[in-house]
Chains A and B, each alone.
Chain A
Amino acid sequence: MFDSLLLALDNLLTINSLGFLVMGTCIGLVFGAIPGLGGTTAIALLIPLTFGMKEFEAITLMGGVMAATSTGGSVSAILLNTPGTAPNAATTFDGYPLAQQGKAGLALGAAATASALGGLIGVFTLVAVIPIAKEIVLLFAPAEFFLLAVFGLCAIAVSTGGRLLQGLITACVGLIAGFVGYDGVSGEVRYDFGIDFLWDGVKLVPALIGLFAIAEMINLSVKGGTVAENPEIVKIQKVFDGVKAVFKNYPTMLRGSAIGTFIGAVPGVGGTVAAFLSYSTQVQMAKDPETYGKGNILGVIAPESANNAKDGGSLIPTLAFGIPGSAETAVFLGVLILHGLDPGPTILFEHEDVIFTLVLTLTISCVLATLIVLALARSLALLTMIDVHVLVPTVTIVALVGAYALQTEIGDVYVALVFGIVGYLMIRFDYPRVTFTIALVLGEITERSFHQTMLISDDNWSIFITRNISIILLVLIAAALALPSFRLWAQRRKERREGPV
Chain B
Amino acid sequence: MNNGMNSGMNIGAPEKRGALYFALGLFALTVFFIYLSYDYAPNVRLFPLMVGYTGLILCTLDLIGLTDTALGRIINTVFSGTAAGETGKVAKFTPKLSRQLIAMAWMVGLVIGIYIVGFMVMVPAYVFSSMYFQGKKSVKKCAYGAVSTTVFVWVMFEFLLKYELYRGVFAE
Q: List A residues at the B interface (Cβ < 8 Å).
A: 49, 51-52, 162-166, 168-169, 172-173, 175-176, 179, 183, 185-186, 188, 190-191, 214, 217-218, 221-223, 387, 389-390, 392-394, 396-398, 400-401, 404-405, 408, 410, 413-414, 417, 420-421, 424-425, 428-431, 446-447, 450-451, 454, 483-488, 492
Q: Can you list 6 contacts pairing A with B, beta carbon distance less than 8 Å?
A: A162-B81, A165-B62, A390-B137, A404-B119, A405-B163, A429-B22
- B18 in contact (CB, < 8 A): yes
- B121 in contact (CB, < 8 A): no
Q: A408-B166, A484-B82 are in contact. List 12 more A-B contacts (CB 8 A).
A: A162-B80, A163-B80, A165-B79, A172-B55, A188-B40, A387-B135, A393-B131, A401-B123, A405-B163, A417-B111, A424-B103, A430-B3
Task: Establish whether residues B78 and A484, one from each chain, have CB atoms under 8 Å apart when the complex forms.
Answer: yes
On chain B, the residues within 8 Å of A446 by CB distance are 47
From A52, A162, A186, B3 is in contact (CB under 8 Å) with A162
Known contacts A393-B149, A425-B22, A488 near B30 by CB under 8 Å: no
On chain A, the residues within 8 Å of B1 by CB distance are 163, 166, 429-431
The prevalent SS among residues of B at the interface is: helix
On chain A, the residues within 8 Å of B119 by CB distance are 401, 404
On chain B, the residues within 8 Å of A163 by CB distance are 1, 3, 80
On chain A, the residues within 8 Å of B153 by CB distance are 397-398, 401
- B70 in contact (CB, < 8 A): no
From A183, A393, A428, B44 is in contact (CB under 8 Å) with A183
Task: Establish whether residues A392 and B130, one from each chain, have CB atoms under 8 Å apart when the complex forms.
Answer: yes
On chain A, the residues within 8 Å of B152 by CB distance are 398
- Number of chain B interface residues as a range: 35 or more
Task: Establish whether residues A397 and B58, one from each chain, have CB atoms under 8 Å apart when the complex forms.
Answer: no
Task: Establish whether residues A172 and B82, one from each chain, have CB atoms under 8 Å apart when the complex forms.
Answer: no
A-B pairs, top 3 by smallest CB distance, nearest first, are: A389-B135, A484-B81, A172-B55
Q: Which residues of B123-138 have CB atoms within 8 Å of chain A's CB atoms?
A: 123, 126-127, 130-131, 134-137
Q: Which residue of A lies closest to B166 (CB)?
A: A410
CB distance from B30 to the nearest CB of A (A): 7
On chain B, the residues within 8 Å of A394 by CB distance are 127, 145, 149
Q: Which residues of B69-96 have CB atoms within 8 Å of chain A's CB atoms?
A: 75, 77-83, 87, 93, 95
CB distance from B45 to the nearest CB of A (A): 8
Q: Which residue of A lies closest to B15 (CB)?
A: A429
Q: Which residue of A lies closest to B61 (CB)?
A: A165
Task: Establish whether residues A190 and B100, one from each chain, have CB atoms under 8 Å apart when the complex forms.
Answer: no
Central interface residue in A185, A188, A393, A414, by most chain B CB within 10 Å: A393
Task: Establish whether residues A186 and B111, one from each chain, have CB atoms under 8 Å apart when the complex forms.
Answer: no
CB distance from B47 to the nearest CB of A (A): 5
Task: Establish whether residues A164 and B2, one from each chain, have CB atoms under 8 Å apart when the complex forms.
Answer: no
A398 and B161 alpha carbons, distance in the complex (Å): 14
CB distance from B17 to the nearest CB of A (A): 11
From A217, A222, A484, A492, B79 is in contact (CB under 8 Å) with A484
Mask of B40-67 contacts with A, CB within 8 angstroms, 1/0 = 1101101110011011001101100100
A188 and B153 alpha carbons, distance in the complex (Å): 38
Known contacts A393-B126, A393-B149, A408 near B79 by CB under 8 Å: no
A222 and B75 alpha carbons, distance in the complex (Å): 32
A444 and B11 alpha carbons, distance in the complex (Å): 39
Known contacts A165-B79, A166-B2, A400-B110, A172 near B18 by CB under 8 Å: no
On chain B, the residues within 8 Å of A169 by CB distance are 26, 55, 58-59, 62
